[in-house]
Every structure is written in structure tokens, then in C-alpha cells.
Amino acid sequence: MPWDLISSTEAAKLLFVHPATLRRYETSDGKWVEIYGMRIRVYRFDGGQRRYDRNEIIREIQRLKKAR
């Protein structure tokens, strides 16, 4: 399955949070965001830009909905 990497702004919209919230809940090593019981991988590129896999976010949201 190919990656569908999106910006912090787009990821924040999917999660209904502010982009700064994603940065705030990054793990200390900066490789993951842990928010609302989800663990989402952070991909970093030259210049420090963060990207998130849209499919991973959607899977995590669906997993949480099933757990309710």
C-alpha cells in the first residue's frame, strides 16, 4: 500500500486539532504522535518538515470507533 503523506495542517484537520497540538504530543524522540489513544508515525524531511500518513490516521480513527 503506497504512502499518502500529508502535512501537519491536513493531519490536524482529520483529527480536529490544531497543528501545534500534533507537535505538542510528539514523543520525546519525535517519531510518533500520541493523541486520543492513537499512535501515529511522524515522517521528517529535510528542513524539519513533518508529514503523516493519511491512511494510518484513518485506520487509527476507525480502530478507536470500533473500540467504543
Range of the domain at 42: 5-67
Residue 6, CA distances (Å) to 14, 38, 41 in order? 10, 17, 12
Residue 60, CA distances (Å) to 3, 24, 45, 47, 48 in order? 15, 19, 23, 27, 24
Structural domain count of the chain: 1
Predicted confidence (pLDDT) per residue in 6-37, tens digit: 999 999 999 999 999 999 999 999 999 999 99
d(CA 6, CA 54): 6
The helix/strand/coil state of 67 is helix
User: How much of the chain exceeds pLDDT 90, in percent?
Assistant: 88
